[in-house]
Chain A
Amino acid sequence: MSGVRTLPPLAAYSLALGDDALILAQRLGEWVAHAPQIEEDVALANIALDLLGQARTLLGYAAAVEGRGRDEDDLAYLRDDRDFRNVQLVEIPNGDFAVTMARQLVFSAYQYELYTALGSSGDATLAGLAGKAVKEVAYHRDHATQWVLRLGDGTEVSHARMQAGLDQVWPYAAELFDPVDPASRLPGVAADPATLRPAWEQYVTSVLNEGTLTKPEPRWRSRGGRDGLHTEHLGHLLAEMQHLHRSHPGATW
């Protein structure tokens, strides 16, 4: 499979955002039939499907801009882990429900600012997607917020587990706001990740304060997902996600 580095900037940017959504959709799908309540099964599957829809648009657009005859399925199912451009946050294992909610808070609050900014992108496809997706993501953010508040300000046990979830996830948050190479080459089209941080910071801080939780100050941080450097977990996720397509190329319903 041809390297991602040769992609046009707009395709590379679309691919990076699409990979975030795709990989998190796959992770959240793992909760189905395992959530604490059947109602949460449905809620998490809903969120996963919203993300999958975003991923389809973004990967499809990346393939179209690339213009080499690949489609969304080729990009989703036929790349290896080094060619994925998602941040490491979305690939880390689900952990317990509190870890997943911590990750949801971090990521959906980021995506909310991202799509808000992309709503005024000079690229009509990205602006159109963002206008629709920001409503979905507002719900994802609210869902995560409700749970972080309840677990944080709940019992002694739920508070401890929510704090532990935040501590586990926080080292992966900074990567969301690192400069993305294609973004810097797409002025007026892409959203500069660093500009999304203040609003994100304000939102998550207010949720943590209200939930009587402490914002973690991690001593290390993840790097490199946007360059194809991933945790060991991504390969296993891809094996499961890509197995069917690779075993039965072109299979349809």
Chain B
Amino acid sequence: MTEGNDTGKRGWPLWEVFVRARRGLAHQHVGSLHAPDATMAVRNARDVYTRRGEGVSIWVVPSSAIVANSPDEKDPFFDPAQDKVYRHPTFYDVPEGVKHL
């Protein structure tokens, strides 16, 4: 059992669920759920997020283990990126016929 995790009203901690849709792709965050421990979290994730054949691999992470930036830091974090157009690859022409870019 994870200590200090967020717990639901019945005392089950919250888990973030990541699913890989198929080989070669990265795991993507699909949502969260409650489970008493990691083993059950994987099983619950299987039932909640992959019952229509959505995945081949599941990761679960205690929500409390996620470190996020604060909304207050939004401006210093992200504003400086807004006016640096030269960081975008838009200043050269892509030759005809080049694939997989």
Contacts and interface: CB of A to CB of B under 8 A. Distances in A.
Interface of A: 36-40, 42-43, 46, 139, 142-143, 146, 150
B99 to A, nearest CB: 39
Nearest to A49: B51
A48 to B, nearest CB: 12
B12 A146 contact: no
Nearest to A149: B39
B36 A46 contact: no
A43 B44 contact: yes
17 contacts: A37-B34, A38-B34, A39-B34, A39-B35, A39-B44, A39-B47, A39-B48, A42-B47, A42-B51, A43-B43, A43-B44, A46-B47, A139-B46, A146-B40, A146-B43, A150-B36, A150-B40
B10 interface: yes
Contacts of A150: 36-37, 40
A39 B33 contact: yes
Binding site secondary structure of chain A: helix
Contacts, number: 31
Contacts of A38: 34
B3 to A, nearest CB: 17
A224 B20 CA distance: 48
Chain B binding surface SS class = mixed
Contacts of A142: 43
Contacts of B37: 150
Interface of B: 8, 10, 12, 33-37, 39-40, 43-44, 46-48, 51
Given A42-B48, A150-B36, A36 B10 contact: yes
Contacts of A139: 46
B34 A46 contact: no
Contacts of B35: 39
A202 B34 CA distance: 32
Given A39-B34, A42-B51, A43-B43, 13 more contacts: A37-B12, A38-B34, A39-B33, A39-B44, A40-B44, A42-B44, A42-B47, A43-B47, A46-B51, A142-B43, A146-B39, A150-B36, A150-B37
Residue from A36, A37, A39, A146 whose CB has the most chain B CB atoms within 10 Å: A39
A37 B36 CA distance: 10
B63 to A, nearest CB: 14
